[in-house]
């Protein structure tokens, strides 16, 4: 994010995809090695300068046996990452964009040691299974409602109604570290399965 001569790379996240190559899960912070995170941040600033970017862009890379390869650059606000970054780091990308275009200051990133681990995931529940699928399932869902403490998830957007046998949800789970966040996510799915 930034303008020519002044770019700030934001938190690196990790994306998981379904069989249709649609993003089904965002994890923050990433499990990349610190050196890879540094390379990714430097690559982001370099690409922003080459564009030249005024605003925000999203870069997706693939880790090919330790080498980061650029897959996609989107000069727009991504759909899922801002929520995962906000829940993990407290950085509000919309506030940063506003500040960028109005000349205001603020919105610094927290020290990586203070980050929360986040699992942001899309699920579809049917009588036969729980599937983790790409974000397209939210578009096909009925009217979505926001819930806190949804089957143990910190937050959810869902078309679930009591007694409903098929529904979709975007789940947001936070914990102190990635292992605990993943374990909590698994408990949420087990709570749904049990119900």
**pLDDT-based confidence at residue 109 (cuts at 50, 70, 90):** low
pLDDT tens, 10-34? 999 999 999 999 999 999 999 999 9
Q: How many CA atoms lie within 13 A of 175 on its CB side?
A: 17
Q: Express as a percent the part of the chain with pLDDT over 90.
A: 86
- Residue pointed to by tokens 């408990």: 187
* Alpha-carbon distances, residue 103 vs 9, 10, 86, 94, 100 (angstroms): 18, 18, 21, 14, 5
pLDDT of residue 79: 86
pLDDT tens, 149-177? 999 999 999 999 999 999 999 999 999 99
User: What does pTM read for this prediction?
Assistant: 0.92
For residue 61, what is the enclosing H or E element?
A: strand 58-64
- Top pLDDT among 66 and 123 is at 123
Q: Contact at 8 Å (CB) between 57 and 100?
A: no
**pLDDT-based confidence at residue 106 (cuts at 50, 70, 90):** low
CATH 1.10.760.10, domain 2-12+31-79+91-111, yes or no: no
Average the pLDDT over 42-68 and give the result. 94
Q: Where are the domains of the chain?
A: 2-12+31-79+91-111, 117-194
CA separation for the pair 57, 110 (Å, rounded): 20
CA separation for the pair 189, 195 (Å, rounded): 10
Average the pLDDT over 103-111 and give the result. 67
């Amino acid at each position: 994010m930034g303008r020519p001569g002044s770019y700030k790379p934001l938190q690196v996240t990790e994306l998981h995809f379904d069989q249709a190559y649609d993003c089904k899960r965002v994890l923050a912070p990433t499990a990349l090695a610190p050196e890879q995170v540094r390379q990714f941040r430097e690559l982001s600033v370099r690409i922003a300068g080459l564009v030249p970017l005024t605003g925000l862009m999203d870069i997706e890379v693939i880790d090919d046996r330790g080498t980061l390869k650029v897959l996609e650059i989107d000069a727009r606000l991504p759909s899922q990452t801002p929520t995962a970054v906000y829940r993990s780091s407290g950085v509000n990308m919309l506030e940063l964009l506003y500040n960028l275009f109005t000349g205001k200051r603020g919105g610094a990133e927290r020290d990586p040691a203070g980050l929360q681990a986040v699992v942001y995931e899309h699920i579809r529940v049917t009588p036969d299974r729980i599937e983790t699928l790409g974000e397209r399932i939210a578009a096909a869902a009925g009217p979505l409602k926001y819930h806190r403490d949804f089957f143990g998830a910190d937050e959810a957007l869902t078309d679930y109604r009591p007694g409903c046998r098929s529904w979709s949800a975007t789940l947001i789970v936070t914990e102190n570290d990635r292992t605990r966040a993943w374990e909590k996510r698994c408990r949420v799915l087990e709570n749904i399965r049990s119900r």
